[in-house]
Amino acid sequence: MNTKQVLEMFAEHGLVDAGQIEDITQEVNHSGKSLVEVMVDFEICTDQEFYQNIAASLGTDFVDLTGFEPPPEVLRLIPGGLANLHRAFPLGLEHGNIQVALADPLNAQTGEDLRFALGKEIQVVVAPVYQIEELIKKNYGTDMSSMDDILAQLGGDLEFGGGDGLDMKHLEAEANATPIIRYVDLIIHQAIQDRASDIHFEPSTR
């Protein structure tokens, strides 16, 4: 989650002042700790209160996922590729909408991307990031087999131009599209997990 955006939300509720915002931001940037860890260290809130305040600001629910064991039909609501790509975990169906816990609930584009990919409305809820990531890893895995799923969910082969050559404006738009950025992020994350020495991309004529 964006540090500045979160701190502004806390400031609106009178939980932090300008001086604390500066101190917290510097600590996050220099310590390598997450924002929630720093705010707990500063005794501004507990871990749970941090996420509860974000949920309240967004007008949605906070969910503690401790011990949550999703049934198979819930897991099928979001394919593994999308779950890894968007750091999203399904919690169930409510009035025909998919209830989803997002690692970054402040990113409205993620909900839109999921709605478009799944063809259903998305109800975003807030849960601790570490719980979401643990559930994704436990139930979907993070192995490279999910990469083919992600490519399929991104629309398969990308068209970058016609017979007269590359359409550079279209190419730039594709390169900056949020799902593509998340896909590259996921590849880099997987490479780090596998301790890979390098990453290779090869063109395909398929």
- Domain boundaries in the chain? 3-58, 72-140, 146-193
Residue with token string 């600001």: 57
Q: How would you classify residue 44: left for phi > 0, otherwise alpha for psi between -120 and 50, otherwise beta?
A: alpha
pLDDT digits (tens, 9 = 90+) for 138-157: 999 864 445 555 555 555 44
Please provide the DSSP assignment of 23-70 as one string.
HHHHHHHHH---HHHHHHHTTS--HHHHHHHHHHHHTS-B---TT---
pLDDT at 151: 56
pLDDT digits (tens, 9 = 90+) for 9-58: 999 989 999 899 999 999 999 998 999 999 999 999 999 999 999 999 99
CATH homologous superfamily, domain 72-140: Type II secretion system, protein E, N-terminal domain (3.30.300.160)
pTM for this model (two decimals): 0.71
Bridge partner list, 123: 99
Percent of all residues in the chain with a pLDDT value above 90, rounded to a whole number? 54
Average model confidence (pLDDT) across the chain: 82
